[in-house]
C-alpha cells in the first residue's frame, strides 16, 4: 500500500473516530474524493461510509437521550 493511500485512510479513520458531525461530513467527502481518484477500492469505501453513518446515528441517538433537546423523548429533558 502506498504512503499516500495510508495517509488518506488514516485521515478518514481519524475523522470518523471524532464523532463530530462536521468531521463526519468531511470523512464522507474524502471517501468520495478517494473513490473518484481511484486510490480507494469501492468495497473499502463502502465499509468506511457505513461506519461513518452508523457512528453518526449512534452519537445522535445517545445525545438525544442524554441531553436536553427539543426532540428529547423524556419530559425532564425536553426543552424548547
Residue-wise pLDDT tens digits, 13-32:
666 666 566 776 777 777 77
C-alpha cell read off for 11 = 485521515
Contacts of 54-57 spanning 24+ positions with Cβ under 8 A = 55/16, 55/19, 55/24, 56/21, 56/24
CA pair distance 65, 74, nearest whole angstrom: 8
Least confident range from 7-16, 28-37, 49-58: namely 7-16
Please tell me the pTM assigned to this model: 0.52
In this structure, the number of other CB atoms found within 10 A of the CB of residue 29 comes to 11
Rounded to 5°, angle at Cα 54 from 63 and 32: 120
| pLDDT at residue 46 is higher than 80 | yes
The two most distant CA atoms of the chain are separated, in Å, by: 53
Amino acid at each position: 500500500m502506498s504512503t499516500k493511500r495510508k495517509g488518506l485512510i488514516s485521515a478518514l479513520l481519524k475523522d470518523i473516530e471524532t464523532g463530530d458531525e462536521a468531521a463526519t461530513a468531511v470523512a464522507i467527502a474524502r471517501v468520495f474524493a478517494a473513490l473518484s481518484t481511484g486510490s480507494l477500492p469501492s468495497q473499502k469505501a463502502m465499509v468506511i461510509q457505513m461506519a461513518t453513518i452508523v457512528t453518526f446515528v449512534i452519537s445522535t441517538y445517545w445525545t438525544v437521550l442524554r441531553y436536553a433537546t427539543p426532540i428529547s423523548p423524556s419530559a425532564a429533558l425536553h426543552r424548547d
